[in-house]
């Protein structure tokens, strides 16, 4: 026979779980748009939990180190029976860029909330960023969930995504150190036919494929690796990429 104390403990554990499993409803806020121009930047550090990042290199911005940043913010809430109002959490999300010395910092920060509110409501900001930046800007991106697209950025570039997709499309020869990391997802590189670079590509659980690019490729039982030199690189451009679970595609057009 179950004792009274055991019944009470069971009720305290099971009932909240039942309520939250059956009554936790997603809510979505309206979209908040923002646009700003920043000058005198030599590097970019961008971090976000969820969203889409588009980076477009523009050589006309190289001299002044200017960057135009367009941001789309939306908040998703998960609450008991959908009682939370997502729009009320929009002012709590800080997305404004800041310049630390010569580094442009773009972070998504959620202001402090009460313990009771944190227990009852899960708040997930979704931040989409569209940036026009110098082609020579040293760029670093960290994204938990989402997609990153980087176009015409042949210099130093580092992108890390936990779950999502990375598309890299340099429009000229790679001249910097480019590093890409994905836990779950795909990396796609769209290269000009004349691009030459040193490379080290690894898919732990997945595939590596190429089109119109000669790579020294070794396939394994569960994954693949490619390392060597593509073309005749005049400069020390390198590509280092690792995908835990997914694929790497290197194509030249």
Sequence-distant (6+) residues with CB within 8 A of 2 are 10
Label residue 45 by pLDDT band (50, 70, 90). very high
Round to whole Å and give the CA distance between 104 and 23. 42
Round to whole Å and give the CA distance between 152 and 133. 10
Q: What is the pLDDT of residues 161-196, one digit of tens each?
A: 999 999 999 988 899 999 999 999 999 999 988 788
* pLDDT at residue 166 in the model: 98
Is the CB of residue 172 less than 8 Å from the CB of residue 233? no
Three-state secondary structure string covering 153-190: CCCCEEEEEEEEEEEEECCCCCCCEEEEEEEEEEEEEE
* pLDDT at residue 206 in the model: 94
Q: CA–CA distance from 172 to each of 58, 142, 153, 194, 234 (Å)?
A: 12, 24, 8, 8, 13
* pLDDT at residue 16 in the model: 53
Furthest CA-CA distance within the chain = 81
Round to whole Å and give the CA distance between 75 and 30. 8
* pLDDT at residue 51 in the model: 93
* pLDDT at residue 21 in the model: 46
252 Cα distance to chain centroid: 24
Q: What is the pLDDT of residues 81-96, one digit of tens each?
A: 788 899 999 999 999 8
Conformation bin of residue 109: beta by default, left when phi > 0, alpha when psi is -120 to 50: beta
Round to whole Å and give the CA distance between 105 and 136. 16
Label residue 18 by pLDDT band (50, 70, 90). very low
Mean pLDDT computed over 21-49: 88
* pLDDT at residue 8 in the model: 53
* pLDDT at residue 162 in the model: 97
Label residue 213 by pLDDT band (50, 70, 90). confident
* pLDDT at residue 2 in the model: 53
Mean pLDDT computed over 198-203: 94
Per-residue tokens: 172 = 């000229």
Round to whole Å and give the CA distance between 253 and 192. 6
pLDDT at residue 14 above 50? Answer: no
Round to whole Å and give the CA distance between 195 and 230. 8
The rounded percent of the chain whose pLDDT value lies above 90 is 70
13 Cα distance to chain centroid: 37
Round to whole Å and give the CA distance between 36 and 67. 8
pLDDT at residue 155 above 90? Answer: yes
Round to whole Å and give the CA distance between 201 and 185. 14
Mean pLDDT computed over 215-227: 90
Q: Which of 18-27, 55-64, 131-140, 201-210 has the lowest mean pLDDT?
A: 18-27
Q: What is the pLDDT of residues 100-124, one digit of tens each?
A: 999 999 999 999 999 989 888 999 9
* pLDDT at residue 196 in the model: 85
The rounded percent of the chain whose pLDDT value lies above 70 is 90
């Amino acid at each position: 026979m179950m004792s009274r104390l055991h019944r009470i403990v069971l009720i305290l554990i099971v009932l909240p779980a039942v309520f939250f499993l059956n009554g936790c409803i997603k809510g979505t806020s309206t979209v908040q748009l923002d646009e700003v121009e920043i000058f005198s930047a030599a590097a970019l550090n961008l971090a976000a939990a969820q969203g889409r990042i588009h980076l477009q290199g523009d050589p006309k911005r190289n001299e002044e180190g200017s960057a135009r940043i367009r941001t789309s913010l939306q908040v998703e809430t998960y609450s008991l029976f959908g009682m939370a109002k997502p729009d009320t959490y929009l002012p709590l999300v800080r997305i404004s860029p800041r310049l630390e010395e010569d580094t442009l910092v773009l972070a998504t920060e959620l202001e402090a909330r009460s313990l009771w509110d944190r227990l009852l409501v899960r708040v997930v900001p979704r931040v989409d960023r569209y940036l026009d930046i110098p082609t020579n800007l040293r760029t670093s991106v960290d994204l938990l969930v989402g997609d990153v697209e980087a176009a015409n950025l042949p210099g130093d570039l580092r992108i890390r995504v936990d779950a999502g997709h990375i598309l890299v499309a340099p429009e000229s020869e790679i001249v910097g150190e480019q590093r890409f990391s994905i836990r779950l997802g795909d990396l796609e590189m769209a290269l000009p036919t004349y691009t030459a670079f040193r490379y080290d590509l690894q898919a732990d659980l997945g595939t590596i494929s190429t089109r119109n690019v000669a790579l020294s490729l070794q396939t394994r039982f569960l994954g693949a690796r490619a390392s060597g030199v593509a073309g005749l690189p005049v400069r020390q451009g390198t590509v280092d990429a690792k995908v835990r679970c997914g694929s790497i595609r290197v194509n030249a057009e």
